[in-house]
C-alpha cells in the first residue's frame, strides 16, 4: 500500500482552528494513487447532501449500522443519500451493537441483505457507526461480489481518528481479534462532528486518548494546541473537534505512508497500547473502553521513559494533566497486578527473540522510539509503581 | 487489475508440443506488476521440490485440500514442501469434496486450523485440488490476517485452464454462486500433469470443453492442433497436456489483460456458457459437469451463428467432431425444453435493457462477437432444433 497525505484543507484551519466550520468542509486527501479518497470533516456535513451523493456510484445503496445509531441517524443518512436524487434506492441492515458481534455470523447478515436486495457490482455500502460497524461493513464491501464501493460515516471520535486512514477492515475469530479481513479503501470518509453530540462522554474521552497520542509521539505543536483547547473539545465545540480530527487523520496518514509494512515507524502509533492491552486482557474486555486503557498505558510508557532518563519531567506532568482534563484514567484498576502485566506482555506481537519492544518517548516533546534496547529495571520499576501488588 | 502475459516458456513447446516435458517445466508468466507470478506446467513437477520451495515465504505452510485428493497427493505435496527444507513445518486441513461445501461454514474450518496452528503473516496457504478448493483456499488466504501468501496446485483440467489466471476467489451464498470473495493473486501456480492420471474421464473431458473454447473464440491454430492431438489429450499424454494447458492459460491471460473490467472482450470467455447455464439450472446442478453443459452450449451457439449466416458450415462440423472426440455431449438432455431455456436465459447477467447478449462465432475459425444485435428468429430456431418440446 502506497499512501501519502496532502493536507489540502479547503479552509485555513491552522490560522483559526476554533472557528466553526459552517458550510465548507475541511478536507484531508488520502493519496493512494487510483484508490485515493477524501476525508470530509465538519459540522452539519450530513445536511450537505451533495458531499455524499457525489461518491455514490450506481443506483443502490446499503447502509450498515447498529441498533444504537439507527434510531438517531439512519433517517438523516437515507435523506442525505436520496434527497433530490430519485434514482437512488437505499436499503439498510441494522446489526446488534458491540464488539462481541463483530464476527462471521453478523457479517453474513450484511451479505444476506445485500443479496436479497439484488445489489449488483455498482452498488455502494455505507458504514454508519463506530469502529465495529466500519470494520465489518468495510470487509463486507471488500468481499461482496469481490468488491463494491464503500463509504464511511464514522460516528465516534475513536473511529474518526483511527479507522479513517489505513484501510484495515475485518472481523474477530473466537480465538482472536481482527484475524479475518482485508485492506480495503473507501470512496470517501464523511465525518459530521454533530454526530458526536449524542456520543456518551466516556466514549468521547476514549477517542481523545488517541488524539493526545498523536501529539505525544510526533506533533508537539498539536499537543500544545490540545493543552489550550481540551475544554473546547470536551464541550464538543465543532471547530475544535474538526481541527483535532483533521490533525489526527493527517498524522496517521503520514506515519502509514512512511511505513506501509508496519516494520517500525508504524508501530509508534501503538504508544501505550502494550500496557493498555495488558489492562484490557487482565481486567476483562468491555470493562474499560479501549481509549481508557490506552490513556493509562501512555502514562506508564511515559513514566518508564522518564525513569530511563530519556525525557524531561515536564512531559510526564503535561501528559498526565491533559489526560485528566479529558477525564481519562491515569492509573490501572487496582485488581491488575505486576504479574498480570508481565504475563500478557510476554505474548505481545512486538516480542522478538524473547525481547519485548516498546514505544517510549525520547527527547523533546513529540519524539518517540520503538525499541527493545532499554534497561529492564525501568520496566519493573514502572510496573511496581503502578500496581498495588 | 492490470494483467499481461508473456509466453516465456523455458522449452520450445510450439515446435514439438507432444514431446514429454521431463525435467524442465513449461512456464507461463502472468505479468501483473508487483503481483506477477509464474504458472509452471509439466510432468513430474511435484518431484522438483525446488519449484515449490522457492515460492514459500516464512516457515509455516497450510495445505488446504479435500477428502478425495488428500489420500492420493497430500503426502507427496508435504514431501515436496519439506524435503531438504527442515525449517518449514506443514499443517493441513482436509475439507469435504464438492461444490455444495463451497460455503462460509467450510471456509471457517480453514481459518480455525490456521489460527489453532498459530500461523502468522509470513505463512503460505497451498490449494491442492480442483476449482472449489482453489476458490476457497484463495479467499481464505486473501482474508487471513488481511492477506497471506498463496500457492495453487490445481489437480483438474478445469482448474488448470480456468482458475490459474484471473485471481478470482470466493465462496457461494445459499442464494447464489461466487457472491462472496476477493480478487487475489497466487505466488505461483504449479500444474503437474501427472495429477491428471487419477482424474475420472468425465472430468478430464469436461476440462477439455474449456480448452476447445479457447480455440473456437480466438486461436484457430490451437484449434487445429487440438484436432490433430485430441487422441493424445484423451490418452493423457504429458506433452500434449502441457501444451494444451499452456496455450489455454496464455489465451485467458491475453483476454483478461485486454479487458480487465469484464466489459466486452472478457465476456467472450463465456462462449456456450449462457446455453450451458440454462442446461445446468434446468437439469439440476450436479447432474452434468460444468464442461459438459458448456460443450452443448457451444454447439448451440455455433448452430445459431450458422443460422445467422455468420460462419461457414465447416466450422459447425469441426466443432461437433472435436467435442465428440473428447467424448463430450453435443445435445442437451431430452427433458430440457425451449421454455426452460428461455426462462433461465431471461435472467442472465448479460441481459441489458431486456436484450440478451450472446457470444457467437463470426467470420473465419477463431473469431467471435459478443452482441445483442442478432435476429431473434435464429435463437428460436436453434432452441427448437435442440429441444424435443
Torsion of CA B370, B375, B376, B380, to 10 degrees: -100
Q: Is A175 at the interface with chain B, CB within 8 A?
A: yes
Q: Is B1 at the interface with chain A, CB within 8 A?
A: no
Nearest CA to A88 out of A46, A55, A127 is that of A55
The H helix count followed by the E strand count for chain A is 13, 14
Q: What is the per-residue burial (b if ≥16 Cβ within 10 Å, else e) of A295-309?
A: bbbbbbbbbbbbbbe
* pLDDT tens, position by position, B243-294: 999 999 999 999 988 876 666 788 899 999 999 999 988 887 678 999 999 9
Residue B158's SS3 state is helix
Q: Nearest by CB to A115, which of B108, B145, B173? A: B173
Nearest CA to A124 out of A80, A174, A60, A52 is that of A60
Domain range list for chain B = 26-196, 201-386
Asked if B4 is an active-site residue, the reply is no
* pLDDT tens, position by position, B88-107: 999 999 999 999 999 999 99
Query: Could you tell me which chain B residue has the CA closest to the CA of A109?
Result: B173
CB contact under 8 Å between B116 and A175, yes or no, is: yes
Look at domain A26-196 and name its CATH class: alpha beta
CB contact under 8 Å between B146 and A182, yes or no, is: yes
CB contact under 8 Å between B147 and A179, yes or no, is: no
Q: Residue A202 and residue A378: Cα distance in Å, rounded?
A: 31
Nearest CA to A147 out of A171, A124, A173 is that of A124
H or E, element range at A4: strand A4-6
* pLDDT tens, position by position, A15-29: 444 444 457 899 999
Q: Nearest by CB to A176, which of B115, B175, B181? A: B115
Give the list of residues 6+ apart from residue A93 with CB closer than 8 angstroms, or none.
A62, A63, A64, A65, A109, A110, A113
With beta carbons less than 8 A apart as the criterion, state whether A288 and A280 touch: yes
Q: Residue A218 and residue A38: Cα distance in Å, rounded?
A: 23
DSSP A96: P
CB contact under 8 Å between A146 and B182, yes or no, is: yes
CB contact under 8 Å between B142 and A176, yes or no, is: no
With beta carbons less than 8 A apart as the criterion, state whether B5 and B254 touch: yes
Q: Nearest by CB to B146, which of A104, A175, A183? A: A183
Which ipTM did the prediction report? 0.89
Beta strand pairing call for B188-192 and B37-42: parallel
Q: Residue B251 and residue B217: Cα distance in Å, rounded?
A: 10
pTM of the model: 0.91
Interface probe, candidates B139, B180, B349, chain A, greatest A C-beta count within 10 A: B180
The fold of the B201-386 domain, in CATH, is: Dehydroquinate synthase-like, alpha domain (1.20.1090)
Give the list of residues 6+ apart from residue B176 with CB closer than 8 angstroms, or none.
A115
Which of A153-162, A287-296, A364-373, B252-261 has the weakest average pLDDT? B252-261
Question: Residue A276: which pLDDT band, with cuts at 50, 70 and 90?
Answer: very high
* pLDDT tens, position by position, B334-377: 999 999 999 888 877 677 667 889 999 999 999 999 999 999 99
Q: Is A111 at the interface with chain B, CB within 8 A?
A: yes
Q: Residue A192 and residue A22: Cα distance in Å, rounded?
A: 11
Which B residues 128-147 touch A at CB under 8 Å? 139, 142-147
Nearest CA to B211 out of B179, B144, B164, B142 is that of B164
Give the distance from residue A278's alpha carbon to the nearest chain B alpha carbon, in angstroms.
20
Mean pLDDT calculated for residue range B123-147 = 97
Amino acid at each position: 500500500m502506497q499512501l501519502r497525505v496532502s493536507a489540502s484543507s479547503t479552509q485555513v484551519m491552522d490560522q483559526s482552528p476554533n472557528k466553526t466550520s459552517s458550510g465548507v468542509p475541511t478536507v484531508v486527501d488520502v493519496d493512494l494513487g487510483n484508490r485515493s479518497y477524501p476525508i470530509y470533516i465538519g459540522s452539519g456535513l450530513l445536511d450537505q447532501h451533495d458531499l455524499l451523493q457525489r461518491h455514490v456510484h450506481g443506483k443502490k445503496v446499503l447502509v450498515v449500522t447498529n441498533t444504537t445509531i439507527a434510531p438517531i441517524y439512519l433517517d438523516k443518512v437515507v435523506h442525505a443519500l436520496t434527497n433530490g436524487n430519485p434514482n437512488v434506492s437505499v436499503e439498510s441492515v441494522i446489526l446488534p451493537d458491540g464488539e462481541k458481534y463483530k464476527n462471521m455470523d453478523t457479517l453474513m447478515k450484511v451479505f444476506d441483505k445485500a443479496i436479497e436486495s439484488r445489489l449488483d457490482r455498482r452498488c455502494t455500502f455505507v458504514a454508519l457507526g463506530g469502529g465495529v460497524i466500519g470494520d465489518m461493513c468495510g470487509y463486507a464491501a471488500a468481499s461482496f461480489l469481490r468488491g463494491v464501493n464503500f463509504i464511511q460515516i464514522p460516528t465516534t471520535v475513536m473511529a474518526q481518528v483511527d479507522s479513517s486512514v489505513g484501510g484495515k477492515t475485518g472481523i474477530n475469530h473466537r480465538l482472536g481479534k481482527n484475524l479475518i479481513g482485508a485492506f480495503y479503501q473507501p470512496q470517501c470518509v464523511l465525518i459530521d462532528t454533530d454526530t458526536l453530540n449524542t456520543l456518551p462522554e466516556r466514549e468521547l474521552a476514549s477517542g481523545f486518548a488517541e488524539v493526545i497520542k498523536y501529539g505525544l509521539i510526533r506533533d508537539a505543536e498539536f499537543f500544545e494546541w490540545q493543552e489550550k483547547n481540551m475544554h473546547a473539545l470536551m464541550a464538543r465545540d465543532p471547530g475544535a473537534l474538526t481541527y483535532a480530527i483533521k490533525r489526527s487523520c493527517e498524522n496517521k496518514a503520514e506515519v502509514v505512508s512512511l511505513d506501509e509494512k508496519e516494520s517500525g515507524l508504524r508501530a509508534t502509533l501503538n504508544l501505550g497500547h502494550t500496557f493498555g492491552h495488558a489492562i484490557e486482557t487482565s481486567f476483562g474486555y468491555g470493562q474499560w473502553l479501549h481509549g481508557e486503557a490506552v490513556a493509562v498505558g501512555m502514562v506508564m510508557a511515559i513514566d518508564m521513559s522518564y525513569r530511563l532518563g530519556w525525557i524531561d519531567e515536564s512531559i510526564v506532568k503535561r501528559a498526565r494533566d491533559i489526560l485528566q482534563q479529558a477525564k481519562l484514567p491515569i492509573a490501572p484498576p487496582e485488581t491488575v497486578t505486576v504479574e498480570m502485566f508481565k504475563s500478557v506482555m510476554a505474548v505481545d506481537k512486538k516480542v522478538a527473540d524473547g525481547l519485548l519492544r516498546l514505544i517510549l518517548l525520547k527527547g523533546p516533546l513529540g519524539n518517540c522510539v520503538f525499541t527493545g534496547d532499554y534497561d529492564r529495571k525501568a520496566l519493573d520499576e514502572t510496573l511496581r509503581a503502578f500496581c498495588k501488588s
